[in-house]
Amino acid sequence: MQYKTIILFLFGFSFLTAFTQVEVIDNVSIIRSVNTDTLPDPIFSLDNLPAQRFYKDIWSNENTRTSYIFEKTSTYVLPIETEHTGTFVFPCNGNVISYYGTRNGRLHTGMDIKQNLGDSVVSVWDGVVRMARMGYYGYGGTIIIRHDNGIETMYAHLSKISVLPNQRVKAGQLIGKAGRTGRASTEHLHFETRFLYEHFNPKIIIDFDTKQLICDTLIVKNGTFYAAKDLRKEEEKKLTQVTLSESLAPITTDSTHKILSETKQETKMPTSVPKPKYYVVKKGDTLTQIAKKNHTSVKKLCEINHIKETSILSLGQKIKLP
């Protein structure tokens, strides 16, 4: 009789423990704003949330989007890796089975990577878990991590969540297990990249064949996401086209007006294209130092490079000189 009593007690205790563990994640997931009493990291506080220079709204654990703060008229410059992001790690093993873009007449906002049930999923950079919820609409088990570079990464259709909201994680740290929860026809990881809650094509910064980072700086201009190198090529192409022919269709955009104005100042012959001069950013460089070295002003550098005086410079970045 005593033996049976002990077994029943242990069984009841195990069941209660398992039930409590499930409830912890569910309870934490419905927090609408940060309550520092529930944070798992004792040194975590509202004063050191990641990417505060971009996110000015409330920190929420409940939904993928908390507000509309993305400004299409603004230009954002995001160095992809900083001292606070760690080194990029691909989120899982497996190959892409569905890409970002239109699918069956609807926009597919991420990359689907084939998985087996229970395969490990890891965080791509250091960051803080903003949301961790099972049964989140069609996404099923979902985790969102905010990183110091301003990017949020989403991991969906998980069968198991191994982290809590407000928890700090490292690049490569296990955050959950793959599955097919939510609306999913097979086991896979739905992976998204977002900035200010707006999704963008992860292929801009990640090569999904080599599973490596291919971009050191992400630029958002007029609501469009670019790798810095691609934006420079596009701007140079526009400059060449405007210079070679001033009889193009009426120009209406502010950015094109600026290009035309700069072109008229830089050349007297409309059919010749002067080779632009660039300064390559070195460690410790600031816009003020670059302007002084090249006998110009910070304002002028900002104008011709379409950046702000507060823009963050990255190593190897090319600054166009007047």
pLDDT at 36: 38
Provide CB contacts within 8 A for 148, sequence distance 6+. 50, 51, 82, 84, 85, 125, 126, 127
- For 16, the enclosing helix (H) or strand (E) is helix 2-29
**Contact in structure between 216 and 79 (CB atoms under 8 Å):** yes
Q: How many residues does the chain have?
A: 322
Across the range 171-197, mean pLDDT stands at: 98
Q: Which residue has the higher pLDDT, 38 or 229?
A: 229
Write out the H or E segment, with its range, that includes residue 198: strand 198-200
Percent of the chain past pLDDT 70, that is, above it, reads 74
Convert the pLDDT of each residue in 37-51 to its tens digit. 344 554 456 667 899
Query: Which has more confidence, 22 or 252?
Result: 252
pTM of the model: 0.63
Quick check: 181 and 141 in contact, CB under 8 A? yes
- Residue 12, classified by CB atoms within 10 Å of its CB into exposed (0-12), middle (13-18) or buried (19+), is exposed
Q: Quick check: 98 and 133 in contact, CB under 8 A? A: no
The more confidently predicted of residues 289 and 192 is: 192
Domain 36-213 falls in which CATH fold? Glucose Permease (Domain IIA) (2.70.70)
pLDDT at residue number 205: 97
* 64-86 residue pLDDT tens: 998 999 999 999 999 999 999 99
212-213 vs 206-207, strand pairing mode = antiparallel
- Give the mean pLDDT of the chain: 81
| Whether residue 218 has pLDDT greater than 70 | yes
The pLDDT assigned to 242 comes to: 56
Q: Nearest CA to 84 among 258, 300, 312?
A: 312
Supply the pLDDT for residue 43: 47
Q: What is the pLDDT of residue 317?
A: 82
For 228-321, give the CATH class.
Answer: alpha beta
| Range 1-21 average pLDDT | 43
Residue ranges per structural domain of the chain:
36-213, 228-321
In whole angstroms, what is the distance from residue 148 CA to residue 95 CA? 27
Q: What is the pLDDT of residues 110-165, one digit of tens each?
A: 999 999 999 999 999 999 999 999 999 999 999 999 999 999 999 999 999 999 99
pLDDT range class, residue 29, cuts 50, 70, 90: very low
**pLDDT (tens digit, 9 = 90+) per residue, 243-292?**
555 545 454 445 445 544 554 554 444 455 567 788 888 878 888 888 88
